[in-house]
Each structure stands twice: as structure tokens, then as C-alpha cells.
Amino acid sequence: MPLTLTPLPDIPLIHPGDDLAQLVLAALHASHITLNDNDIIVLTSKIVSKAEGRLVNLGTMTPSAQAVELAQRAEKDPRVVELILQESHAVLRVRPGTIIVEHNLGFICASAGIDHSNVGLVRSDDFSRPASAAEAATTNTEDWVLLLPENPDASAARIRQQLQAATGANIGVLIIDSHGRAWRLGTVGVAIGLSGIPGVVDERGWQDLFGYTLRITIVGAADELAAAASLVMGQAAEGTPVVHVRGFPYPLREGSLGELLRPKEQDMFR
């Protein structure tokens, strides 16, 4: 079966509390797509974070002394740096404009994945708790940032369960984010949360076209799919944060982000 990736149109702007599974089902219906066994739904981390209320108003942040010192070195807003520290296990590299950290979720990324782009106008009811007067009065995009989902694997599992219950199809769900890479320029889509799909596929012991037995080949299947989906989603104003995938070339199984993270003792660049 050929691999097809279909961006789902008409996904509305997401607000905290929105039911992403129901929005995906509506978009599938509008696109005349019926979920089949082995299909995969790919979502940007941004809409998952918005639905889960991971918005933070910078006006509520009080930078620590560590954040102020680090902000001076990185030439960044101390309030944002305070959030970076809260979302990270460790700071690994700092230079003007860039802070590289080990995120609380275990992967290495810039600025703990905190995002200013496409946050949109924030409503006073966009909170899982009552908004303070200061927050309610500051709905400008520049006052807000978006954190990554707190537990993307759990988010993917929840959305998958809802979609499977509604359709009866055995599917996978992938949550992706845009990350830079240590060895190459440019950001690419990577998997940060998954349910029902393999993170990696171990091909050691398989034979190539000429009968050679593979000895070290482990495929980052979830990251490969994340990059492909990110390509059709776009990175700016495209507004297509959900992609339907059919023809994924590997069997579906339970997977997790942890499969994709290189152990520290094997990390030659740490």
C-alpha cells in the first residue's frame, strides 16, 4: 500500500478544554475519510498543549536569580528563561539567542520547546482555573507563551482511545513538535508523544536485497513519520495541524517516547 498523508482541513483555533478527538472526527467526515485499521492520526503538539491549557502569561512570572543571570548570557527575556528552567532537568549549552536543555520529558531541545508563534489571542476563559484580573486584561499574543504537553504519551493514548471507541478501528496517534538537530541546519518534525505505533523498528537480523544480514540498523520510524507529516502541515500560517496517514510501512504496536531517547551513557555529545 502506498503511503499517503492527508492534511485535514477546517480544524478551528483551539482553546483549553476543546475535545480534539471530536474535532478530528468532524474533519475526517468533512474530508470523506473513514478511519481504517492501521491508519495513524498525527497532531501538532501546539493544539494538544492549547487544548490542555498549557498557556502561561509572562506577566505572572517572577524570574529567579539564576534565570536573570542566564537571560543575560542568552540575551533572552528573564521571564521566559524562568519557564525554561522550570520545564527542564538541566541546561546543557548557552549562547546569545539559544539555550539548549534536557527537557523534563527527557529529550534535548532549544528553549524547552516553549513557543511564542501561533499562540493567538487568549480569551479570559482559556484557563483550567479562574483567570486573574491581570491575565484577563492581557489577551495580547505577545504576553503569552505555550508549553509542551505535560505527558504527550498519555495525551496520544487518550485521543487514540476516543477515536477507536468512536470508529472501531485499530489506529495509532502521534504528537509531533519541530526541533533542530545537532549536526544539521533547519528544524524538522519529531515525535514527542505516541500511542499504538512503534517509536523505533529494530531491523537487526533482517536481510538486505543481496542477502547481507543487517547488524546495526534501527529505524526511527516515528520520527520519520513526524518529519513527513510536518512537511505537509507547514510551519507558519498554513493552519493544518492534523494529518491522516495511511500505508505506514510497519506493523502497529504499543510504543512510547522513551524508545526514541538515546541513553546518556551512549550520548557522545552530552
Domain ranges of the chain: 1-52+149-260, 55-147
Q: Which residue has the cell 527527557?
A: 106
- Angle of helix 65-74 relative to helix 78-86, nearest 10 degrees? 110
CATH superfamily of 55-147: CofE-like domain (3.90.1660.10)
Confidence band for 211, pLDDT divided at 50, 70 and 90 = low
Decide if pLDDT at 214 tops 90: no
Distance between CA atoms of 6 and 3, rounded to whole angstroms? Answer: 10
Q: What is the pTM of this model?
A: 0.88
Decide if pLDDT at 141 tops 90: no
DSSP state of 73: H
Question: Cβ distance 195 to 157 under 8 Å?
Answer: yes
Query: Going by C-beta distance under 8 Å and a sequence separation of 6 or more, which residues neighbour residue 161?
Result: none
Distance between CA atoms of 31 and 29, rounded to whole angstroms? Answer: 5
What's the confidence (pLDDT) of residue 1?
79
Question: Cβ distance 181 to 108 under 8 Å?
Answer: no
What's the confidence (pLDDT) of residue 163?
98
Dihedral of CA 123/126/132/134: which sign? Answer: negative
| Fold annotation for 1-52+149-260 | 60s Ribosomal Protein L30; Chain: A; (3.30.1330)
Indicate the SS3 state at residue 81: helix
